Chains A and B, each alone.
Chain A
Amino acid sequence: MKKSHLFVIGIIAVAIVIIMSTVGDASVYVSFREARERAADGNLTKVHVVGRLPRDGQKNILGLEYNPTLDPNYFAFTLVDTNRIAQRVIYFNPKPQDFDKSEQVVITGAMRNDVFVADKILLKCPSKYVEKDIKGATASVN
């Protein structure tokens, strides 16, 4: 066998290791039910959950808990996943300031006991990217 062949085999081997490690580290989007099942099985790998914030008639978000003067590193909220399962989530960081405006929230983390401990929150504020309204736009102007 020629050296160059060995070299190619080596590269392929490393590439396979890389692929395997990616597959091993890749996370998944799951529902809260699955997150709970995983936790019950003792599987503590982090998952992604996509959800919305429950709101009342006045569009206020229900169940936000953040009191920075008590503890700036404790923020709790309820998230409703696509299967309409609500789950209490704790985030040991300050509340993201634009949290109230977001339509969709993606969190990563895992269930611990009865709460979902999130370590990352990705907010989707569609208005952030595509403006849909003009402030103070009245027909009388101009």
Chain B
Amino acid sequence: MLNTFIGDLGHLSVIVAFVAATVAAYSYYMAARNQPLGETDGSWLRIGRGAFLLHSVAVISIIVCLFTIIYTHRYEYYYAWSHSSNHLPVHYMISCFWEGQEGSFLLWIFWHVCLGLAIMRFHRKWEAPVMAVFAFVQLFLTSMILGVVVLDVKLGSSPFILLRDFLVDLPVFKMNPNFVPKDGTGLNPLLQNYWMVIHPPTLFLGFALTLVPFAFAIAGLWKGELIKWVKPSLPWALLGGLVLGVGVMMGAYWAYETLNFGGYWNWDPVENAVYIPWLVLVAAIHGMVLWQRSRTALRTSFVLVIASFLLILYATFLTRSGVLGNASVHSFTDLGLSGQLLIYLMAFVVLAIWLLVARWKSIPVSEKELTTYNPELWVFVGATVLCLGAFQVLFTTSIPVYNAFLGFLGIKSNLALPADQIAHYTKIQLWMGVLVAFLTGLAQIMWWQKNDKETLTNSLAVPGMITLLSAALVILLVRYNKLQMSPVYIVLLTTGLFGVLANLGVVLTLVRRRVALSGGGIAHIGISLMLLGILASAGYSNIISKNVSGMVYSKEFPEDLNRDNVLLWRNESAPMGGYDISYTGQYYDVPGVPGYVNKELLFRTDDEYKALARADIKAEGKVYYKAGDTVEILPENTYYKVDYKEKKSGNTFTLYPRAQVNEEMGGLLASPDIKRFASHDIYSHISSVPDPSKEKDWSEVKEHVLSIGDTIYLNDYFAVFRGVEPAHETAGLGLAKGDLAIQGDFLVFGEKKQYHVHPMFVVRNSQVGRVSDEVEDLGLRMVFINVDPTKQKFTFGVSTTQKDYIILKAMEKPFINLLWSGTLLMALGFGMALVKRRREARVAEAKTPAAAPVKVRKAKPQVAA
């Protein structure tokens, strides 16, 4: 039955959350107004706190309501119906929670609540102004899921909308307004992946974390505390850099494992939208570290911290307003919220820039001129490089926005994203990588010592020499393997190695002094390793499924065309790259049984999710199901077994690339399977299979009249008719008393193995029924047509069809493990730096500001607003 209570409760919670955020923003603003930092108007502060706590409770309530709707399959709600289904396991119910726009806003809101509470707890002094910013952001975010109409303007899109209110025109609701669908439309199968359970929360936590330093910076500008905001917010910025960086790489890893564009990064606008703020945030962290150490780059820190949050907002606008509709494969649909998003973005752009401009002159500037021997200079250059790299991605990704903007002004523009995006981005990003790797090495070495010409030359000599030697070695090895190496690649390789080795040297020295210091070094080793991994795996990615036998349709076309896919007939071996490969059948995932189960062992029933075992289902020597048992299966995905045999070594391995035929999602959704070696990955995915929506084309039935023991020829195979026996219950006939069921027992000799084929003949209530049996491997179908008991003759019909095939694309990705291990090191380094800075901030807070002597020019007295 229709249950409107829970939706109403959820919607009410949204409204409460919105109102509470508004009250909190106003009260916190009033509490902090006209007072120096640390002093507040007590009564306003209490109201602000109460309102934010109420807001938090309301947000939790929204989440509980929405999850209950999904968990209890309340398909009368549009959100549950369009994102979930009856057979979805619980962990994917969690991911369908944030599959939709509204849910992902909710996730973001939730993290802000957590962070806000942490700030109320740990940063008492900053609470009022920082929380004013937080609550202001929450006000905008909750308005996105408000779902109310004010004066004909739709404000937000509610996740609690009823299906009948969403699909108003559907005739069924006219006849029965209380209609509830029996099942939902399900979760996009590409999202049914464990990374999609943990990746979005990570990313949104990263999004949320950029707000913390931003709020501190804004509070600092507002309260005229232009210096003190850095120390408490640096650990938060580091945490943001860590979480966002890991989130980006999780997305990359998910793409690598699940999507089939053949890599981990596609320069899709949605990916870029996260990469840009991350680069800027990392640059901002460098600025803040510079300020902490040598009282320079404070203005830069302000600008970058503010920019990283504004870029997160811009990213949100890009991916959710529908402006990328033609440019991205996975941006959200337009919910009609573009205007609202734009107001959100503009509000913060204007507020931040206005505050920044107003205070610009009073922000202290270092008076010392940076010289070549100052590590600060090189860190600063590094941060600049990151920003320029971010600028390129930003400028290009925004092309659809220019079109939209010009269109808004009435000018028709037909500018499109570059046709070859990879080449376009690589052109600049590769050099950014070169500079980053080189500067991390140089600046890290200089950072920890006093520099002049002599010391610098001395400390650069050893890593420099090892770098050159190892680079030469690698280049020789590459040449030895008959691969080309362009000068650009050589430069990136050398600087990447320098980045690793120089930082390694630094870490080894620092560990002896104090482990806590080495976080930066470790993070930089990670970054350099990632660059080397990207160079190897992307630069030398090798398609091993090159089709050499393809027809030449038109001689006018040059031979540089893609012929990257091979067709594999079932059970026929084919050479591919250095391998002999064969496709040997279709498999299902059966819960509880390790590995996959051959489809031929399963007899499908009317219930899609249940099958009968035709024989014992064994795995690793253990029997999981006996013949005739009912087996629970996951029918959505088919796993195509592909056996690889390396020609040179004779080593074999098996991959199960997965594909899902999903009419509603529009066709075939393929995911790769990856065989991991220490030095490379073999990556295979299905490009195409025979169209499963079309019925198989069976040949005309050919009849054979046989006696027991006869042999017949079928296509290229022969079969022995071994006898007739009573039919087993296994086929799910549901036999009753008085029914007669017999089956023929054939042994068919295929290329690789023998098949038992059992066509059945059933007599029930003097009606004859025939159940044919199919050997998918051989494209054969047999039907038991008749029995002539007097002559001991049996008539069987045989029809054949085209054999099953798959079209496969396979690649080799050398040294991709460098990328993943580099990511882990980077995360570790960020974590160590975070711990160190957090400790410093706490120490500073403990011994109440004795204000470190700061050499500043134009050190104006700071006025409280």
Contacts and interface: CB of A to CB of B under 8 A. Distances in A.
A93 B551 contact: no
Contacts, number: 168
B357 interface: no
B395 A93 contact: no
A52 interface: no
Interface stretch (B554-562, B644-652, B710-718): B554-562
Interface string B166-179: 01001110011011
B409 interface: no
B151 interface: no
B400 to A, nearest CB: 11
Contact of A71 (B167, B179, B420, B550): B550
Contact of A93 (B178, B181, B565): B565
Nearest to A11: B384
B333 A130 contact: yes
Contact of B170 (A19, A102, A137): A137
Given A15-B388, A71-B553, A72-B567, A26 B667 contact: no
Given A18-B395, A98-B665, A98-B667, A122 B551 contact: no
Given A72-B567, A137-B170, A28 B416 contact: yes
Contacts of A117: 557, 561
A117 B562 CA distance: 11
Contact of B563 (A27, A47, A73): A73
A94 B416 contact: no
Contact of B666 (A4, A68, A92, A123): A123
A58 to B, nearest CB: 15
Contact of B565 (A26, A27, A72): A72
**Residue picked from A25, A29, A125, most chain B C-beta under 10 Å:** A25
A112 to B, nearest CB: 7
B392 A18 contact: yes
A2 B178 CA distance: 75
Contacts of A136: 182
B815 to A, nearest CB: 27
A27 B667 contact: no
Contacts of B396: 22, 25-26
A97 B416 contact: no
B180 A142 contact: yes
Interface string A76-104: 00000000000000101111111111100
Contact of A18 (B369, B388, B416): B388
Interface residues of A, number: 67
Contact of B369 (A3, A69, A70, A112): A3
A92 B563 contact: yes
A83 to B, nearest CB: 13
A124 B330 CA distance: 11
Interface in B400-452: 414-420, 423-424, 427-428
A1 interface: no
B302 to A, nearest CB: 17
Given A30-B414, A50-B326, A134-B167, A129 B550 contact: no
Given A48-B419, A72-B807, A95-B688, A125 B179 contact: no
B564 A93 contact: yes
A139 B170 contact: no
B329 interface: yes
Contact of A131 (B185, B802, B805): B185
A25 to B, nearest CB: 4
Contacts of B807: 68, 72, 94
A98 B687 CA distance: 12
A68 B805 contact: yes
B416 A131 contact: no
A33 interface: no
B667 A137 contact: no
Given A69-B805, A74-B553, A112-B557, A131 B179 contact: no
A117 B553 CA distance: 13
Contacts of B551: 70-71, 74
B547 A28 contact: no
A97 B326 CA distance: 20
A4 B297 CA distance: 12
Given A18-B428, A26-B417, A128-B666, A72 B562 contact: no
B388 A11 contact: yes
A106 B325 CA distance: 11
13 contacts: A7-B384, A22-B392, A22-B399, A27-B416, A28-B415, A29-B415, A69-B567, A72-B550, A93-B565, A98-B666, A128-B666, A131-B81, A132-B167
Given A18-B388, A94-B807, 5 more contacts: A18-B392, A71-B547, A97-B667, A119-B562, A131-B82
The 6 A-B pairs at the shortest CB distance, nearest first, are namely A98-B667, A98-B666, A46-B419, A97-B667, A97-B668, A139-B175
